[in-house]
């Protein structure tokens, strides 16, 4: 019973996060392309604080259940005959990107909570122009796109009719759309 509830919560939180992450990334694109000041950005975020709170709770729930599953697997590796199959690599990439995103989310939220005013926030935003920060952004967006594609593959395999054949195409489509969006976002900021 408990495992079934956690399974459903994991899947529902994944569906909710698709919307939250899409809205968050769209907001970042709008804020950066319009050249809004830190004061305006902080004001808008504070106006929608309840929504960001729900986003953080849903993300923490999703990450917590995912990390629990990862710990229960005890980092078991598949036998050699399975390790060469593309599904094993998709599984491993999904788990590793999930772990990386959970760590990033914790650091990201901790950093945002320590930026109380616009002046400090402007200084923190200036740090993102550094090449290492840009490389980190690229890695996070790539991990997010890969994790989203893996999640779409899992959801398609579990819930769509004709699931075994269609999941790979859906995941590839999501990954392609994520790559295009990431390229646009990064190219537009350069």
pLDDT in tens, 40-78: 777 777 777 788 888 888 988 888 888 887 777 655 555
- Give residue 190's pLDDT band: very low, low, confident or very high (50, 70, 90): very low
Tokens 């996070």: give the residue. 140
Listed in sequence order, the residues at least 6 apart from 77 whose beta carbon sits closer than 8 Å to its beta carbon are 83
pTM score, whole prediction: 0.70
* The predicted structure's pLDDT at residue 154: 80
With contact defined as beta carbons under 8 Å apart, do 63 and 98 qualify? yes
* The predicted structure's pLDDT at residue 56: 84
Task: Just give the CATH number of 2-189.
Answer: 1.20.1300.10
Tokens 């650091």: give the residue. 107
Closest CA to 144 of 6, 12, 14: 14
């Amino acid at each position: 019973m408990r495992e079934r509830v956690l399974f459903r919560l994991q899947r529902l939180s994944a569906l909710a996060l698709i919307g939250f992450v899409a809205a968050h990334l769209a907001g970042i694109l709008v804020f950066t392309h319009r050249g809004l000041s830190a004061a305006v950005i902080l004001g808008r975020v504070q106006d929608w604080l309840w929504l960001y709170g729900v986003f953080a709770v849903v993300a923490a729930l999703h990450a917590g259940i995912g990390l629990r599953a990862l710990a229960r697997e005890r980092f078991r590796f598949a036998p050699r005959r399975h390790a060469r199959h593309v599904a094993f690599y998709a599984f491993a990439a999904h788990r590793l990107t999930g772990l990386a995103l959970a760590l990033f989310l914790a650091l990201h939220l901790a950093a945002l909570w320590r930026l109380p005013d616009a002046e400090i926030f402007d200084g923190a935003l200036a740090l993102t122009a550094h090449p290492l920060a840009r490389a980190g952004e690229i890695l996070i967006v790539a991990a997010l796109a890969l994790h989203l594609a893996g999640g779409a593959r899992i959801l398609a395999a579990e819930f769509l009719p004709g699931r075994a054949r269609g999941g790979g195409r859906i995941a590839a489509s999501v990954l392609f759309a994520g790559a295009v969006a990431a390229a646009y976002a990064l190219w537009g900021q350069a």
